[in-house]
């Protein structure tokens, strides 16, 4: 429980009425966070549904879905929690979006980048840092989302913002693909970490996979598969 808010996980049967509750959902790739919210709103027949932290469409992992008015009012309590991700950075290529969804902008041979060079570069991204978000992001500038300006081809000066990276470590490497684990504060763009790591190594880089493993104490391993949640919602109360 978070005050009067029930935490709904996959380990227990879905009890109705669900609201007010925070439902842990393992978001599949290829759907927006808002798409998950719409699906759950329809399945549970609850008007007031939101989430506590967007995941990009290509990303998978933990999405905390807030069900009911008393739940959505507590959104900030979840939004401020630290996040844990696993991700794959592909060295040698940069893209317009800093991830695999965008067009390739540059491509170079990254085979000469050593494991020691990667470890040394990671040090500069740990701790309290200034990070410049991707232009393809939902951040607003002059009252408009940056991605809308980017789609029109506008040149936009994006200010660097303070954020905190508690851990940025290599898990594995397969050629140009580097698997990493990131623990960070609210507002950190793992896409930007991937891009900036590539820049620091002199070869460029972008994100090709991203999974949110945890938000504070809440784990993706506890979360509902979206299809299983829909099935549970269809069962008689």
Active site residue 56: yes
Catalytic residue among 26, 56, 99, 196: 56
Of 158, 163, 217, nearest to 190 by C-alpha is 163
Q: Give the start-end residues of each E strand in the chain.
A: 6-8, 21-27, 49-51, 60-67, 83-91, 93-95, 104-107, 127-131, 140-141, 144-145, 161-174, 177-184, 205-215, 218-219, 224-225
CA distance linking residue 34 with residue 39, whole number of Å: 9
Q: What is the DSSP letter of 28?
A: P
| CA separation for the pair 79, 54 (Å, rounded) | 10
CA atoms within a 13 Å half-sphere pointing along the CA-CB vector of 133: 21
**Residues identified as active-site:** 56
């Amino acid at each position: 429980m978070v005050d009067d808010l029930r935490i709904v996980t996959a380990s227990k049967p879905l009890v109705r009425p669900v609201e007010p509750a925070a439902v842990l959902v393992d978001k599949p790739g290829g759907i927006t966070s808002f798409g998950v919210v719409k699906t759950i709103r329809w399945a549970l027949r609850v008007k007031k549904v939101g989430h506590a932290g967007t995941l990009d469409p290509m990303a998978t992992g933990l999405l905390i879905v807030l069900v009911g008015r008393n739940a959505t009012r507590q959104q900030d309590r979840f939004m401020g929690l630290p996040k844990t991700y696993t991700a794959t950075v592909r060295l040698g290529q940069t893209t317009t979006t800093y991830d695999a969804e965008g067009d390739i902008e540059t491509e170079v041979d990254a085979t000469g980048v050593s494991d020691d060079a990667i470890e040394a570069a990671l040090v500069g991204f740990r701790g309290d840092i200034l990070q410049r978000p991707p232009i393809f992001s939902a951040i607003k500038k002059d009252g408009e989302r940056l991605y809308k300006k980017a789609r029109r081809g506008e040149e936009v000066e994006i200010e660097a913002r303070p954020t905190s990276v508690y851990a940025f470590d290599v898990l594995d490497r397969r050629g140009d693909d580097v698997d990493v684990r990131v623990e960070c504060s609210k507002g950190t763009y793992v896409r930007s970490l991937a891009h900036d790591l590539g820049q620091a190594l002199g070869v460029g880089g972008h994100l090709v996979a991203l999974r949110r493993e945890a938000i504070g104490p809440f784990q993706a391993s506890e979360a509902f598969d979206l299809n299983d949640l829909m099935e549970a919602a269809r069962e008689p109360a």
